[in-house]
Amino acid sequence: MVRSRVAGLFAVSFLLGACASPRAPSAPAAIAVHLEPAACGSIERLHVAGDVYLASQPRAADFERLRALGVKTILNVRREAELGEFDEHALVEQLGLTYVSVPFSKADDLTDETLDLLRKQLSGGAERPMLFHCHSGNRVGAVWLAHRVLDGGLTWEAALEEAKTVGMKPAAYEARIQRYVESRRK
């Protein structure tokens, strides 16, 4: 039964011809998993670590492809005002997926409470597999940095490399996450 379901998912992925992952995500992100590149539809930046996909903004058609890959939850950190092309929340729910929105737009908006909530989602609070996205991967990378250091057991340097691979750029995010990590380690 498991083999046929996995084969079915790969067949659907092959038929869609637009999504690929180097391995089927299955391990929780908090376990030592490796960040690997992935591809799905028109998503420009996409990586997978265990059962968490980290991404830039998917287009509407990409959500159906993600569902075919088995994604069950969409975690979005973009503000509603940033989403203009389509109603992402409505589309995701129409596809039978869970939609979680924890919006912020810059490092100054990233409160300890917001980071706690996002880490909880990444540590098993959301049904898996999940897609975690923002516009470019920048905000996702920042949150991923905190998660991998505090929940994934990575060193700061290793987690920072992953965060930059995912898309984190501004030094303001790095400084903000460093303060947060230090406060949570006390």
Tens digits of per-residue pLDDT, 62-102?
999 999 999 999 999 999 888 877 999 999 999 999 999 99
SS (H, E, C) 115-151: HHHHHHHHHHHCCCCEEEECCCCHHHHHHHHHHHHHC
Q: What sign for the dihedral angle of Cα 35, 79, 171, 44?
A: positive
Look up residue 27 and give its two tokens.
Answer: 């391990």
Q: What is the pLDDT of residue 83?
A: 80
Tell me what the pLDDT averaged over the chain comes to: 86
CATH superfamily ID and name for 2-185: Protein tyrosine phosphatase superfamily (3.90.190.10)
pLDDT tens for residues 112-140?
Answer: 999 999 999 999 889 999 999 999 999 99
pLDDT at 176: 98
What φ, ψ does residue 44 adopt, rounded to 5°?
Answer: -70, -45
Q: Which residues, in sequence order, are bridge partners of residue 130? A: 52, 73
Calculate what percentage of the chain has a pLDDT beyond 90.
76
Q: Is the peptide bond before 129 cis (omega within 30 degrees of 0)?
A: yes
The 3-state DSSP class for residue 22 equals: coil
CB 53 within 8 A of CB 131: yes
Residue 21 has pLDDT above 60, yes or no: no
Rounded Cα gap, residues 38 and 122, in angstroms: 18
User: What is the DSSP-derived secondary structure letter of residue 109?
Assistant: G
Percent with pLDDT over 70 in the chain: 83
Q: Are 52 and 129 in contact (CB under 8 A)?
A: yes
pLDDT digits (tens, 9 = 90+) for 140-160: 999 999 999 999 999 999 999
- Please check the confidence at residue 34 and state whether its pLDDT lies above 90: yes
Phi, psi torsion values for 64, nearest 5 degrees: -65, -40
Given this model, what pLDDT does residue 125 score?
85
Q: Could you please report the per-residue DSSP string of 54-90?
A: EESPPPHHHHHHHHHTT--EEEE-S-GGG--SS-HHH
| Reported pTM | 0.84
